[in-house]
Structure formats: structure tokens, C-alpha cells
């Protein structure tokens, strides 16, 4: 089936994009000589470009939630020359199905939803028993009983680039702890910053080097950790591109984060990690790695999947004490 050329319309969240790599792996195993292109928001492109299964990444020029039917029409028409044989639409929205339709791709696969009849002509009924996000993605994969869905995936990293970036800041004797204190979704997924600081201080006292990682949206969290640790951490939050973050993470001995996009990146890099879950459910979006340790209290009010705590106490996070995390890392 070497003539197969597939376009995947990818998700907007970094974590979902990492989990989608499982689908990309299955597609390439099913069509080893086929071509796989992934169209996704521009902020995900550095991540997609590190996936060896993807032959070409296409940046979608839309902001989050933007409809822009005319721009989608123009992009779809420009992609018509690619001669795609199939499109797989991972998101459930109406607008996400427009580009494959405008590109006149003959087979357009996706889940039923949001008035997409006609736009999606290979409609898949979502199996309610498939709770994990990754399993929902895999339900859209080509059907082949000989393909195993437990195949490992990984991101290509460049450790030497990370060492160049950190030149003069690391000694060979240091163990490296990466910390990502942010969670783009909201504060109900963020472990208290004071707790992160206690873990960082304990690690530093045990001859670890602590590196803070995150986006520019996490600037305030980085500044707080700087202050609480008396500037003894390497604060790269908002100072690095995503591809540089991937490289730095690849040289970490351990990684601590909330349930976030970087948690999933750590999983694909195969590094030891501790992942803290609050308002979300580790059964739905777990890090796909045997090296991950998940911390989740499972309170009666959890998971609520809210951005802020409806009960205004965030006990699902506050009751996870730093000492428990320290025992799993140091």
C-alpha cells in the first residue's frame, strides 16, 4: 500500500499530541511505505517535528477556537495537490473537518459529532468503553489485527544541544531534576508552588541540579520558585523554545510535573518521572511510560475536570505533601 498518503488533523494540546504519536506509529506500521503528514496548531509543530513517524508537519494558521472558514477553504484547496488518499480528524469539532473536505480527500475518517455529516464520510461511532484519550485516537487507526497498539513511541532529542545551552551551569557529578510547575489548563491541576520549592531545595541539598521548565505563561511560577529557593535553580521558564525544552528534558535524571503537556513529553523521552494529578484523571490521560510514578489521591470530589476548584480548597493537590514526592525522587 505504498500509494497511501494520509493527512492527520491533530489536536491543539501538547499532551494530546504526544498521545497521538501512538496512532502515528500504528499508521506507519500499517503502511510502511506510505506518507504521513500532520496538520496542527503552530505551537505544536516543534513537537511534531521530533516524531520520526511524521514525514511532514503543516502549521495551521488559526488561533484557539478560530473558525475562519475562508482561510480553511484556502488552505484546503492548497493541500489538494498533495493527493491525499485519507484524512484522519482527531478532534471532534465542525471546523476541524473543513480542511480535509475542502482538500477533496476521498476518505475522511473521524468520530460522529457536531454536525459533521458529509464533511466526515468515514464516520466512527465512539466506543464509550474507551476511556483513555490514547485509545480513542487508536480507534481511528487502520484496522489490522497484526498491529499491536502497545508499541513504544519516542521523541527525537538532541542531548548535545542541551549541554551547549547549559554550558558552564552543570558539573558531571550533578544529577539533574527537571521541574515543570505549570499546567496550561488551570490552577486546579497545579500542585502548590511552595511544595515544588521544598522538593527543589531538598534535591539541591543532595547535590542535584534543578532546572525549571515551562512556557512564558508560567513566568510567575518560575519567579516564585527562584525566590523560594534563593535563586539556586536554573530557571529556563519562558526562555527556551519547545524543541530546546525537549532537549533539556532528555538529559534529566528525573522529572517532576503536574498533569501537563510536558508530563507527556517526559513519557515519550523515557525518563524517570513523578506526575501529580489533581482535578484530572490519571486513568484518562496517564503518561504512557513504564518509568512514570503517578500521584493521585482520588478524593470523593475527584476528578472534577474543572480549571479552578469548585469547592475552593484544592485538597486533591494540597494534601499531597512534598515529603511523599521527595521519597520518590531523591
Enumerate residues 6+ apart whose C-beta is below 8 A from 113. Answer: 92, 93, 126
Whether residue 149 is predicted with pLDDT greater than 60 in this model: the reply is no
Distance from C-alpha of 30 to C-alpha of 215, rounded to nearest angstrom:
36
Express each pLDDT in 281-329 by its tens digit: 999 999 999 999 999 999 999 999 999 999 999 999 999 999 999 999 9
Place 63 in a pLDDT band, splitting at 50, 70 and 90.
confident
Whole-number Cα distances in Å, 230 to 185, 197, 198, 223, 233: 28, 10, 12, 10, 8
Mean pLDDT across 254-262: 98
Express each pLDDT in 70-84 by its tens digit: 999 999 999 999 999
pTM listed for this prediction: 0.94
SS3 62: coil
Amino acid at each position: 500500500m505504498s500509494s497511501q498518503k494520509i493527512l492527520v488533523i491533530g489536536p491543539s494540546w501538547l499532551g494530546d499530541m504526544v498521545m497521538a504519536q501512538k496512532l502515528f506509529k500504528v499508521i506507519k506500521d500499517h503502511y510502511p511505505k506510505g506518507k504521513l503528514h500532520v496538520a496542527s496548531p503552530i505551537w505544536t509543530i516543534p513537537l511534531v517535528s521530533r516524531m520520526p513517524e511524521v514525514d511532514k508537519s503543516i502549521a495551521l494558521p488559526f488561533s484557539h477556537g478560530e473558525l475562519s472558514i475562508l482561510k480553511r477553504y484556502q488552505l484546503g484547496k492548497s493541500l489538494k495537490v498533495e493527493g491525499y488518499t485519507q484524512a484522519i480528524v482527531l478532534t471532534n469539532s465542525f471546523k476541524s473537518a473543513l480542511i480535509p473536505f475542502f482538500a477533496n480527500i476521498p476518505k475522511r475518517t473521524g468520530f460522529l459529532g457536531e454536525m459533521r455529516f458529509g464533511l466526515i464520510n468515514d464516520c466512527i461511532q465512539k466506543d464509550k468503553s474507551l476511556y483513555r484519550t490514547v485509545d480513542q485516537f487508536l480507534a481511528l487507526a487502520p484496522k489490522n489485527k497484526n498491529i499491536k497498539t502497545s508499541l513504544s513511541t519516542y521523541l527525537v532529542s538532541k542531548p548535545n544541544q542541551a549541554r551547549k545551552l547549559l554550558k558552564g551551569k552543570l558539573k558531571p557529578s550533578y544529577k539533574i531534576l527537571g521541574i515543570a510547575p505549570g499546567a496550561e489548563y488551570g490552577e486546579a491541576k497545579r500542585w502548590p508552588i511552595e511544595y515544588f520549592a521544598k522538593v527543589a531545595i531538598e534535591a539541591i541539598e543532595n547535590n542535584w541540579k534543578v532546572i525549571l521548565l515551562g512556557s512564558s505563561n508560567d513566568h510567575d511560577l518560575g519567579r516564585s520558585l527562584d525566590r523560594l529557593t534563593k535563586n539556586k535553580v536554573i530557571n529556563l521558564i519562558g526562555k527556551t523554545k519547545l524543541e530546546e525544552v525537549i532537549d533539556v528534558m532528555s538529559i534529566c535524571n528525573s522529572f517532576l510535573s503536574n498533569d501537563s503537556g510536558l508530563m507527556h513529553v517526559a513519557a515519550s523521552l523515557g525518563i524517570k518521572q513523578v506526575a501529580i494529578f489533581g482535578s484530572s484523571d490519571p486513568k484518562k490521560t496517564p503518561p504512557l511510560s513504564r518509568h512514570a510514578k503517578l500521584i493521585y489521591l482520588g478524593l470523593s470530589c475527584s476528578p472534577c475536570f474543572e480549571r479552578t476548584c469548585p469547592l475552593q480548597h484544592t485538597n486533591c493537590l494540597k494534601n499531597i505533601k512534598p515529603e511523599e514526592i521527595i521519597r520518590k525522587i531523591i
